[in-house]
């Protein structure tokens, strides 16, 4: 049975968080002399440490409570804080499924945590038959599942994820950075069903705010309280919060752009299939396509010369490149360059 106290590092469980001036006072006033801020300037005041306005908007959109939402400095902060809450450096372990998002590896190394990488099989799905020893290992405190997965683009089978959630006594983090491009349902709907579930999303992809660096995590209040203990007091700037709020207030524009990207993904797949050196285009629920070509290194370097930049994934998946879906004009430039190769 899952016990949150059992898997949280003792120093984190006993941690008294830093209380900022804006944590102690919430509301409006005429004069603020509490936070040692410069009284002059347009950006002289600290941002809301709890990002309440963003959470109120997201709560309505995602059908959750505001105390089930964490706003981070990119989803990378969601990942890093999880390591710091649940894994004792040099002792505990985490697990993920490869190939997948490389930041799990980097965060594990930074926090001195062994990251076990179980290979995906059969069209990049989880091999449950070889997973049980890791589910039973008390030192494995976290499992990261990227779905839709990067760089493969596919969604992980829902039944497999639910099996892991039900049979693992640690925390399961489902990274849904690309969920807005998928027809599948988000696991946010399950956060009240599984006390060990954290769902990570981002404003970098479908929301078009990669430069803003804001991510979100959805979980139960008990885990959220731990996140708020560990995070820096003002982890998301005023400018970044305002940019997110602008986007949240213009949902129709976001949805329109998603529709265009999905149409272009389908068109791009069809166009790529007509190119001789393209051997396979993998199914995608994301805003990119994983493509197997005759020679990934040669293709990548050639496209650089043509001023078209893609991602070479040859070292991760043999002779594969990853192509982000661009504007119709950008996609056309890519296709024309590949045809000339």
Q: What is the mean pLDDT of each run of 10 residues along the chain (341 residues)?
A: 94 93 84 94 95 98 98 97 98 98 97 98 95 97 98 98 98 98 97 98 98 98 97 96 97 97 98 96 98 98 97 97 98 96 88
Under 8 Å between Cβ of 167 and 135: yes
pLDDT reported for residue 314: 97
Under 8 Å between Cβ of 190 and 63: no
Q: Is 3 helix (H, G, I), strand (E, B) or coil?
A: coil
Report the alpha-carbon distance of residue 127 to residue 330 in Å, rounded: 37
What does residue 139 show for φ and ψ, rounded to 5 degrees?
-85, -15
User: Please, which residues bridge with residue 144 across strands?
Assistant: 173
Under 8 Å between Cβ of 94 and 144: yes
Beta-strand ranges (E) seen in the chain are 69-72, 93-98, 114-119, 140-146, 171-175, 197-202, 215-218, 278-281, 288-293, 311-312, 320-324
Average pLDDT, the chain: 97
Maximal C-alpha separation, the chain: 69
| Structure confidence by residue, pLDDT tens digits, 307-323 | 999 999 999 999 999 99
Report the alpha-carbon distance of residue 107 to residue 121 in Å, rounded: 25
pLDDT reported for residue 118: 98
Please report which helix (H) or strand (E) contains residue 324, including its range: strand 320-324
pLDDT reported for residue 123: 93
pLDDT reported for residue 26: 79
Report the alpha-carbon distance of residue 20 to residue 1 in Å, rounded: 36
Q: What strands lie across the sheet with 311-312, from one edge to the other?
A: 278-281, 288-293, 320-324, 311-312
């Amino acid at each position: 049975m899952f016990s949150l106290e059992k898997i949280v590092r003792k120093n984190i469980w006993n941690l008294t968080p830093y209380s900022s001036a804006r944590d102690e006072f919430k509301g409006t006033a005429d004069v603020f002399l509490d936070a040692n801020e410069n009284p002059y300037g347009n950006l002289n005041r600290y941002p809301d440490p709890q990002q309440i306005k963003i959470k109120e908007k997201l709560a309505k959109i995602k059908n959750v409570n505001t105390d089930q939402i964490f706003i981070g400095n990119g989803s990378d902060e969601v990942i890093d804080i999880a390591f710091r809450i649940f894994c004792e450096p040099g002792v505990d372990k985490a697990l993920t499924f490869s190939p997948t998002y490389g930041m799990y590896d980097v965060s594990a190394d930074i926090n001195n945590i062994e990251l076990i990488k179980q290979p995906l099989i059969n069209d990049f799905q989880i091999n449950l038959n070889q997973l049980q020893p890791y589910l039973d290992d008390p030192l494995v405190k976290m499992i990261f599942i990227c779905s839709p997965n990067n760089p493969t683009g596919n969604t992980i089978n829902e039944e497999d994820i639910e099996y892991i959630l039900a049979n693992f006594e640690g925390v399961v983090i489902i990274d849904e950075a690309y969920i807005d491009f998928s027809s599948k349902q988000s696991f946010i709907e399950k956060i009240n069903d599984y006390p060990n579930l954290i769902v990570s999303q981002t404003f970098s992809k479908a929301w078009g705010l990669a430069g803003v660096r804001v991510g979100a995590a959805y979980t139960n209040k008990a885990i959220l309280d731990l996140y708020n203990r560990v995070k820096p007091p003002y982890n998301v700037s005023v400018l970044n919060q305002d940019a997110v709020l602008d986007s949240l207030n213009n949902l129709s524009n976001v949805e329109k752009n998603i529709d265009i990207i999905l149409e272009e993904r389908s068109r791009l797949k069809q166009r790529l299939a007509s190119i001789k050196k393209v051997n396979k285009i993998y199914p995608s629920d994301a805003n990119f396509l994983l493509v197997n070509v005759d020679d990934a290194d040669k293709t990548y370097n050639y496209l650089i010369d043509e001023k078209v930049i893609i991602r070479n994934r040859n070292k991760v998946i043999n002779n594969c490149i990853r192509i982000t879906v661009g504007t119709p004009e950008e996609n056309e430039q890519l296709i024309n360059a590949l045809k000339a190769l």
